[in-house]
Structures are given as C-alpha cells and as structure tokens.
Structure 1
Amino acid sequence: MDKISIIIPCYNMEKLVAKCISSIKDQSYTNFEAIFVDDGSQDRTKEIIEENIKDDARMKYVYKENGGLSSARNFGLDMVTSEYVCFIDSDDYIERDFLMELYNSLIENNSDISVCYFNRVYENKVELNKFKSVFYNLVRFPAAWNKLYKTSLFKDNDIYFPPGKWFEDLGTFPKLYMMSNKRISIVEKPLYQYIQNPTSITHTFDERIYDSYDMVKTNEDFARKNNIFNEYYTELEFINIYHTLIGTVYRSSFLEGFDEDKVKEIEKRVSDNYPDWHKNEGIRELQLFYRIYLKALHHKQYRLIVFLLKLLHDKINVS
C-alpha cells in the first residue's frame, strides 16, 4: 500500500473538525499521513485537533499565519513527500472507503487522478452529485477535495492554488486535468460528504465574484505556456461558457446595478476570445434551462435574461 498524504486546511473550525478527524481515522486504507494546516485560527481549533489526533502518529498539526485557503493548501503541499495526495475541507467528512476506492481506481486504471461522486449535505436533505462524463461534468464543479492525485502532477508542473483569490479550484483543477493527459478515472460512489454552509463564497455575492476572470485566464496562460492551448481549446472554451457566461452572469445578477449592459459586457468578454462559443459540444451536456439561456444569450436577448435571472434567483444552483 503506497502512502497517501491528506491535506486538511483549517480555519476557525472548532465545531466541525472533530467529525472530519474521526472520518479520517476510520479509513480502511491505513497507510496515510494527515496534515492539518491551521491557517491562523482564532478559536479552539488547535486544541480540538491536538486532542483528537494525539493517539494517532499518522496525523500531524501545523500552524501558519492566516493567508487563506490556497495558502494553507500550498503550505501542506510543500510538506508532502508521498506519491499520492488528496485534500479534505475541515468542515466536511469522508466515507470509510474513500481512500481505498480512489487508490484502487487510480492504480487499476493507470490514472493520474481518480474522482468520486459526492453528496451535498444540507440541514434537511442530502443531494447526490455524480458525473456522466469526465471533463464537462468535472469542470463545472472543479473542487480539489473529492479526488486523489499523483503528487507529481503538482510538483513536476509547478501547479499550486492561486493565493488570495476566490474560486481557487477553478484556477487549479483544469491545469491538473490538462497535465494528466485526461487520465482520470471515476468511482461511482458518493464517498465525500460536502457540508453546505450558507456563509460560504458559493452563497455570497460581492465584487470578488469577478476573481473568476483571473482564474479562467490563468488556465489559458498555463495552456499557452505549455504549448497545449490548441489541443485543449474546446475545454477552455467550455470553462468560459460555464463559469463566465453562466456563473458570473448569475452571480452578477445579485449585485446592485445589474442590467442589460452588464450581461452584454460579460458576453463580449467571452465572444472576443471564443467567437463560436455557442457551437461548443459541451453545451449539450448541460440541463435544458442552461441550453435555453445560452441560446438566448447568443441571440443577444439581454433584457429577457435580466428579467429571468432576477425571477429565478432561488431556483438556480451554479456552484
């Protein structure tokens, strides 16, 4: 059994981190190290972690000054010497066979990344999230955490999480995908439990939503630097469609002053670089509502879009 490193960034998680620790301790795959990176917590996170890991030599606690989620993950990555690495958010938890299933899938399929289904866990319901196809579904929700990676993907290609930005996973996973040469396998079981937090950035709307522009661009710059932009043009175009034309337009609709001009401005941002975006094959993988919306956007029905988005705020989920 090869050693797996687990990086768990923590910030003010005194109420939830114990359950995360318990789920890691209970893993059927036992050859791992768990690195809890305390990103400058101001509550009892340190005490809770140390109390819960003191009887398990596979687990270690490290402290760093506050720098954000990307900074904490990168700090942990720099400590990793094992061949495989994964990430768990400290307010989430994993099923007992999370590591075993992902490891077996990666080895048996000669993959560079293995990924599992996950559950969104709400206060009063659980929602299963699964993937019909590797790229178009994964890139819609490019989370770091429901995956096992070859560590070399990060270190050999100088890939780190962009510090100080929202949507850091959007600026990271597509790079890993491209450098994996699409060697990705899927475990069709919900082995990761994603706790829904109403105060997370997914449910927050301010000007930092436009950090997504930087994250999209960093993938394109990375592709050009590695001379693979043309090879992955279709995928990069789809990232713009889903995360800019759908995600950013939707989030912008919550901000004061959202109007037809804002929709037009965002659409132009994509069409200037991808003039035939409406022909992207990934669009047919989307739900009917999104396909209709994108058709209206292509035909410049900006007024209709503004009206519908404000009407349907509570019925759309683009996280």
Structure 2
Amino acid sequence: MNKYLFKLTHFSLLQFFILFLRKLSFKNQQICTLLKKFSLQNKKLPSYEQAIQYLNSLSPDSKSSALKKQISEDDNSNYDLKIIVSTYNAANTIEDCIESILNQKTKYSLLIEVINDGSTDATKQILEQYTNRSNVVIINQENQGFSGARNTGLTKINANYLCFVDSDDILEDCFAEVLLDTAFTEQADIVAGGYQQFDNSGIIHEFNYQDNNRFDPYKLYGYPWGKIYHAALFNTVIFPENYWFEDTMLSYLVYDQSHVVCTVKETVYRYRSNQNGITAFAPTKPKAIDSLWVTQQLLLDRKNLKLAFNDEIYKVTLRQTCTNFIRCRFLGNQVQKAVFVVQQQIINDYFKNFALKDDSYLKIIEKAIKADDYLTFVVHAYLNNY
C-alpha cells in the first residue's frame, strides 16, 4: 500500500467512525471515552518551534501581506460598478462569461476589466474581439495567480462599487440591476445575492438569501463572487498573493468593516463546479497548509491595521481552526498535529483572555485548544465539517 493510499484509508476509517458516533448520538464526554478505549489517543504533540519548522519544510509560508503598500486615493467614480474578471486558460468558458456581463439588463454604467493572467491557450485571442468596446478593458499580464490577477483589477477602481467574477462563471442578467438598486437605496457597503452551482449535467445546488437590509456580515458566505462591494472597502487591502485560500481575507479584513450589509432573494450568479479546481485537489497537496499560513498572516494584518479583536473575530478564528485542520486531512497525522499546535499559539497570541459564553460546538473547540486536548479537537473538527 503506497503512502497516499494509506493516508486515504486512515482518513476514511476515521470518517466512518465519526459518522457511527453521530448516529449513536453520544454526548461529548462519552465520545472521548470511547475513542480512548479504541486507543486512538495520539502521542505527544510537537513543540511550537518543531511544528513551525516541519510545516515550513513541506510548504513554506510566503508571508504575503494583504495590506496595500500605498493606500488608494478616491478614484473618480466614472462608473457605477466595476466588474473584475480574472482568467487563466479559460478558452472554453470565457466568452460565455463575458457575454453574460455584456447582456446585463440595467440602467447603471458598468466597467468590465478582464485580466488575462498569462494564459497559454486561446484565451488571449478570444478576448481580442472585445477590445473595441468602450467599457471593456483587457489586460494581459504574466501569470501572478488568482490573487495577482484580482489585485491588478484593484489598482485603479474608478467606480462606486466593484465585484469579482471567475472566468468560468455566468452572471444572471439581473445581477447589476438588483444588487445596485439595493446598494444605492440603502447606501450599502456590501450587497449579496443567491447563486446556483452547476456543471454539464445541470444545477447541482442552489442557495438564496431572504431580502434583508441589515444582514450580519459574519454570516455571508466566504466566496468573493455573487456580491458587490463599496470601492472604499478595498482602499487599504488586497488579496494576499502566493497563498491558496486567499478568499479568507474577506472574513478578516473586509466583512466586519462593512456597516451596512444587505442581501437579496434573487439568484444573481451561476457558479460552475470545477473538478480540477483547488478546492477539489487541495487536501492532497502540501500547499493545503496555506490555509493555516494565510490565517496567521491575516491576523497580523488585522493587528497592523489596528482593527478590533472582538468576540466575532474570535469565533471566526475558532471556526477557521477547524477549516484549516480539515483542509490538511490527507497530509498525515504529523501534519495535522503540527497544524493544531500552531493554531494553539495563534489563539494564545491574539485571543488569550477571550472565552465564549454560549454552549456551541465552538465552546468545545475552544476548550480543546486551551487544554491541549488534541483528541477532542479532532473529533469535533470532523463532526462539524461533515
């Protein structure tokens, strides 16, 4: 049995065992007791220094900040909405994407900026047909990754609001009208709409909000697409480059800086499921450790921006500890233990005197992290992610 297959088998057995415990509806203490009887208690955890060294040996932390080196001044807002489309080798989908933007039924003015991030297929040639349009800007650059492409679009915004569109996705023709109507009426910082997830066989999943003019920003889904943002939210921040899971930036540096967040019930965005995307294969790659590194970097950025460390950000971070751990699930027990130890240090550095008052699963995660209880953390990280 090769190394990868062994890890996959170990993970599958653990997942099956946790599902078994769920069905039995054991209380938390009973779960831990039973696990100990099965001798699944782990050996001694590494020190923080050992954990950092080991994880960096597998996938070094790029230490790429999400803070702009130069704070953006207010651009002349010649457009109501800037649509930033980042594309890489999307010859099969980019035309449908752009046509869905051009076919918006709206009274508002739109600026479309397409960043071709070093494509090696026919993407560049396909984009040439749009260069004669006055409100379409095509930028060809060397490959800089998803963040680098989006950040090019953030260099000069020139609009009241902005949004991000992936080049294999499609906008419903009501996207701009519905979201901007709410944005201008409510003077909103963020407006989010519903989305459909689809593939070649049809719709896989659909999600819709209720109309709400005072939505909790911490309850927004974490993807950058399907929303419009007031341009001022990106005066000081960009997407951290050279990391996977760069979208985490929104939860730490954008969402809670939004005073008025609205949602609309309409489906405005169609997200194409990509079996070759990072989400699909990330857990098998050492670079999945970026999930931890980017969390650590964003907390440092938050500190440098002098943003508050409050109960909500504490909850965001506790949830993120589970997400980071699960994203490394196929990398082996040694990696997961190291991730746990580094996250203990993160909680101690930024939230040492914090304590949850509610009795949610996060309270169990909190206690496990502070009590060095790796076993309980593992069980509840999996229980609440599957």
Structure 1-normalised TM-score? Answer: 0.81
In 1: Cα distance, 2:87 partner to 2:307 partner: 35
**Selected match of 1:94 from 171, 174, 177:** 171
Relative to structure 2, which stretch is displaced further, 73-82 or 159-168? 73-82
- The match for 1:146 is 226
**Is the counterpart of residue 8 in structure 1 residue 85 in structure 2?**
yes
**Is the counterpart of residue 166 in structure 1 residue 244 in structure 2?**
yes
- The match for 2:110 is 32
Q: 1:97 to 1:262 in 2, by over 3 A?
A: same
**Is the counterpart of residue 126 in structure 1 residue 208 in structure 2?**
no
Which structure 2 residue ranges, 5 or more long, are not aligned?
Answer: 1-77
The answer to which structure, 1 or 2, has the higher relative contact order (CA under 8 A, 6+ apart) is: 2
Amino acid at match of 1:6: I
Q: Shift in Å at residue 122 of structure 1? A: 4.0
CA contact (8 A) 1:38 1:64 kept: yes
- The match for 1:48 is 126
Amino acid at match of 1:101: V
In 1: Cα distance, 2:154 partner to 2:79 partner: 17
Q: Shift in Å at residue 185 of structure 1? A: 1.1
In 2: Cα distance, 1:306 partner to 1:259 partner: 13
CA contact (8 A) 2:85 2:150 kept: yes
Amino acid at match of 1:207: P
- The match for 2:279 is 202
Structure 2-normalised TM-score? Answer: 0.68
**Is the counterpart of residue 59 in structure 1 residue 136 in structure 2?**
yes
Task: Describe the SS at the equivalent of 1:115.
Answer: strand
In 2: Cα distance, 1:278 partner to 1:28 partner: 49
In 1: Cα distance, 2:354 partner to 2:205 partner: 31
Q: 1:173 to 1:229 in 2, by over 3 A?
A: same
In 2: Cα distance, 1:226 partner to 1:70 partner: 20
CA contact (8 A) 1:143 1:173 kept: no
CA contact (8 A) 2:82 2:113 kept: yes
In 1: Cα distance, 2:363 partner to 2:273 partner: 28
CA contact (8 A) 1:28 1:96 kept: yes
Q: 1:255-298 deviations in whole A, cap 9, x for unaligned? A: 134587347425524542435777265x85xxxxx669848956
Match runs of 1:248-287 below 5 Å:
248-258=324-334, 261-262=337-338, 264-265=340-341, 268-273=344-349, 274-275=351-352, 279=356, 284=360
Task: Describe the SS at the equivalent of 1:3.
Answer: strand
Which structure 1 residue ranges, 5 or more long, are not aligned?
Answer: 285-289
In 1: Cα distance, 2:312 partner to 2:379 partner: 30
**Selected match of 1:190 from 267, 277, 289:** 267
Q: 1:49-107 deviations in whole A, cap 9, x for unaligned? A: 223x2564322211011111111111112142122211101011111111111111111
Q: 1:142 to 1:264 in 2, by over 3 A?
A: closer
Relative to structure 2, which stretch is displaced further, 24-33 or 53-62? 53-62
In 1: Cα distance, 2:374 partner to 2:297 partner: 28
Identity %: 24
Count of matched residue pairs: 299
CA contact (8 A) 2:325 2:340 kept: no
Q: 1:121 to 1:294 in 2, by over 3 A?
A: farther
- The match for 1:247 is 323
